[in-house]
Amino acid sequence: MKLLQHFDVAGKRVLVRVDFNVPLDKKTGEIADDRRIRSALATIEYLIGQRAKVILLSHLGRPDGRWVESLRMTKVAADLFHLLNRKVHAANDCVGPAVLTQALALQPGEVLLLENLRFHSEEESNDPEFAQALAQLGEVYVNDAFSASHREHASIVGIARLLPSCAGFLMQKEVNYLRDPMESPESPFVVISGGAKVSDKLVFLDRLLEKVDTLLIGGGMAFTFLKAQGRQIGDSLCEDSLLEKAKEILHQAEQVGVELLLPIDVVVAQTMEEGVPSKVVSIENIPAGYKGLDIGPRTRVLFTERIQCARTIVWNGPVGVFENPSFAEGTQAVAAAMAASNATTIVGGGDSAAAVDRFGLAAYMSHVSMGGGASLEFLEGRILPGIAVLEDSR
């Protein structure tokens, strides 16, 4: 990819595709977590320092091509104002004559935030005329939205085909950190895979077996593997259609010498609601009517021991329902072990990133990806359209 630092942007109108798709509080409508905005500051502040005219493009939520008042970028502009400590001009749309006039009137070092891209259905359909309307606002295009780069949208792919294009600093960081462990990891290479479903991680797991030394599996997906081993799992989450695939993965791991560890004890309850009674049981004794909702204390020790010995660690997916304090200890133990490790520690996936942030441990990781689904697809070895088009632009 061409890189931002290799471009002369002084005095130029620079279109920056950022991902300001921040979560909003359901009650107040205010921004609940502005990590995605903060993660883009390095690129924005660099462009301001280079005296570029900065034009920011982003989506927010899923308005499905309709104007939704609660999904306007007003709150994002206010947050960005406080983070940058400078005025942020806000446009009432992302295309059209009025927006073009605002863009052309920008002075070096000024920032303009466009309205929600997804108020226009043409964004997600990668409509060429919409891409052209966006492109005419700028002279250079910077993609700093790795987390949206698995989408072939107008602001991701369309503009990049029309303007001199490059990767921003967050994009560069994401690609470098996520690429290196899958191409040349320092051994022992340990991967923690969690989350709800095996189906979400099949390609990821298949690719890992070529690279990893130890694979730790937790979360809801672990129970499909446990059932594939013939164990009784009570009412725990299970994808019965993937039992045979789970058996294949277990067999393949054994054949190639990968240590694949599943929970040896779990925290169970009849529901995952906060405050419900819970108990710790071994995997041989999960009672009928109970769901496994977190790894147990013996499994935490087992997983921690493997993490402590690692030189490269990739974590994708929590190992319990960490949003509920009753079932958060396993995920917190994994995060704490990684934070204390001297290994290269990479956290990929929205839920895992939210977990380390909630536990106050994000700063102790080598890299916490903001990529969500894009992180997983990249780790699976898929070609992301937003990255491919930047490579083609060379």
pLDDT at 393: 64
Return the minimum-mean-pLDDT range out of 181-185, 286-290, 315-319.
181-185
Write out the catalytic residue numbers: 36, 197, 350, 373
- What distances in angstroms separate CA 308 from CA 210, 276, 314, one per listed residue? 22, 33, 13
**pLDDT, the chain, mean:** 94
pLDDT category, 274, cuts 50, 70, 90? Answer: confident
Q: What's residue 306's pLDDT?
A: 97
Q: Are 155 and 123 in contact (CB under 8 A)?
A: yes
Backbone angles phi, psi at 137, to 5 degrees: -75, -25
**Residue 13 to residues 109, 198, 381, Cα–Cα distance (Å):** 10, 45, 34
How does DSSP classify residue 125?
A: T
Q: What is the pLDDT of residues 192-247, one digit of tens each?
A: 999 988 888 888 898 888 889 999 999 999 999 999 999 999 999 999 999 999 99
Q: Which distant-in-sequence residues (6+ apart) come within 8 Å of 195 by Cβ?
A: 201, 219, 220, 221, 316, 317, 318, 349, 351
Query: 248 - beta bridge partners?
Result: none
Q: Is 150 helix (H, G, I), strand (E, B) or coil?
A: coil
8-state DSSP, 117:
G
Provide the edge-to-edge strand list for the sheet that holds 291-295.
278-282, 265-269, 291-295
- Long-range (24+ apart) CB contacts under 8 A made by 102-105 are 103/13, 103/53, 103/55, 103/137, 103/138, 104/13
Domains, the chain, ordered by start: 4-170 (3.40.50.1260), 178-378 (3.40.50.1260)
What is the tens place of the pLDDT at every residue in 53-73?
999 999 999 999 999 999 999
Percent of the chain residues topping a pLDDT of 90: 84
Q: What's the confidence (pLDDT) of residue 196?
A: 87
Where does residue 166 rank: exposed (0-12), middle (13-18), buried (19+ CB within 10 A)?
Answer: buried
pLDDT per residue as tens digits for the range 98-110: 999 999 999 999 9
Share of the chain above pLDDT 70, in %: 99
Residue 295 near residue 265 (C-beta atoms within 8 A): yes
Q: What is the mean pLDDT of residues 163-181?
A: 93
DSSP letters, 297-329, are HHHHHHHHHHHHH-SEEEEES-SS-TTSGGG-H
pLDDT tens profile 342-392? 999 999 877 898 899 999 999 999 999 988 888 888 888 888 999 999 987
Q: Residue 77 is which amino acid? A: A
pLDDT digits (tens, 9 = 90+) for 71-89: 999 999 999 999 999 999 9
Please tell me the least confidently modeled range out of 10-14, 152-156, 180-184, 320-324: 180-184
342, 315 contact by CB (below 8 A)? no
Provide CB contacts within 8 A for 12, sequence distance 6+: 52, 53, 138, 139, 140
Interval 5-17 mean pLDDT:
97
Higher pLDDT, 97 or 379: 97
